[in-house]
Amino acid sequence: MPKRIDHIAIIVRDIEQALVFYRDTLGIAPGEIQEVPTEHVRIAFLPMGGPGGSEIELIEPTAPDSSLAKFLEKRGEGLHHICLEVENIDAELADMREKGAQVLDKQPRIAAEGRAIFLHPKGTNGVLLELLEKS
Amino acid sequence: MPKRIDHIAIIVRDIEQALVFYRDTLGIAPGEIQEVPTEHVRIAFLPMGGPGGSEIELIEPTAPDSSLAKFLEKRGEGLHHICLEVENIDAELADMREKGAQVLDKQPRIAAEGRAIFLHPKGTNGVLLELLEKS
């Protein structure tokens, strides 16, 4: 069972341009922009609510043929996924499978902050859902 | 400046059906389903992370001609908006106007949990953004 919302991800064309609103207008101080070459993205977190607070993640696709770039092309900028933190991703994966959830991963993938699985929007009322065990 | 993510809203056709996944499969205990006749919706919150934790809100439009029902018809179920809590909504509204943000409300509207304004997705990289002063 998920413990908390870890982050909500927004897909954008250009992180620096997005920060004009999120940092300069709204006033949230972002973390450093990180390159994640294995996932073909640049990301930046916008921390809120102190330690343990849920964050906004800005995601900018860096490879034009990646699935994220195609999502951006098709749907435009906007909300992309929610990430919920769980205690034990292996137990969660087994539980989701047993309950018939539509899991996109056969085994947990290595994400920036730990190990994660994704659930298909078809089984979650239209929401791409990440479950994450933080490392 | 926003203090924390208050909630992330997911628009669904039928809250009871959505709870089959969010409550029964994922295991999050929902709050009571509330009718909000003035907004033509039924809503349920899925609390996570203890007191002060960010929540998921499920929203079911109840009037076929409402803007929410039209959103659902056009885009299908899925992520709808993010709500950020602020200290003082009047000061925030003045600040957003001064900075040229595209505010959808001339004055704060009365929401279920306090007073709120919405920002148009055109100025927020595609995200319908609610700023809320809780009452």
Q: Please report the DSSP string for B109-130 in residue order.
A: EEETTEEEEEE-GGGTTS--EE
Residues A26 and B127: beta-carbon distance below 8 Å: no
**B101 contacts chain A (CB < 8 A):** yes
pTM of the entire structure? 0.96
Contact A4 B53 (CB under 8 A): yes
Supply the CATH number for residue B121's domain: 3.10.180.10
Q: Closest-CA residue in chain B for A130?
A: B26
Residue B2 maps to a domain:
no
What pLDDT, on the 0 to 100 scale, is given for residue B38? 85
Whether residues B94 and B37 fall in one domain: no
Contact B125 A77 (CB under 8 A): yes
What's the pLDDT tens digit per position in B90-101?
A: 999 999 999 999
Whether residues A71 and A95 fall in one domain: no
Question: Which residue range(s) make up the domain with B104?
Answer: 86-135
What pLDDT, on the 0 to 100 scale, is given for residue A111? 86
Whether residues A68 and A94 fall in one domain: no
User: Interface pTM (ipTM) of the complex?
Assistant: 0.95
Using only C-alpha atoms, chain B has a radius of gyration, in whole angstroms, of 15
Contact B25 A127 (CB under 8 A): no
Q: Which residue has the tokens 């059906």?
A: B17
Total Cβ atoms within 10 A of residue B122: 9
Instruction: Output the DSSP codes for B89-115.
Output: HHHHHHHHHHTT--BS-SS-EEETTEE
Specify the number of domains making up chain B: 2
- CA-nearest of B14, B124, B108, B119 to B59 is B14
Token pair, residue A130, equals 């990440």
Which of A11, A127, A129, A134 to mutate to test binding with chain B, by most B CBs within 10 Å of its CB? A127
What's the pLDDT tens digit per position in A77-86?
A: 999 999 999 9
Whether residues B48 and B90 fall in one domain: no
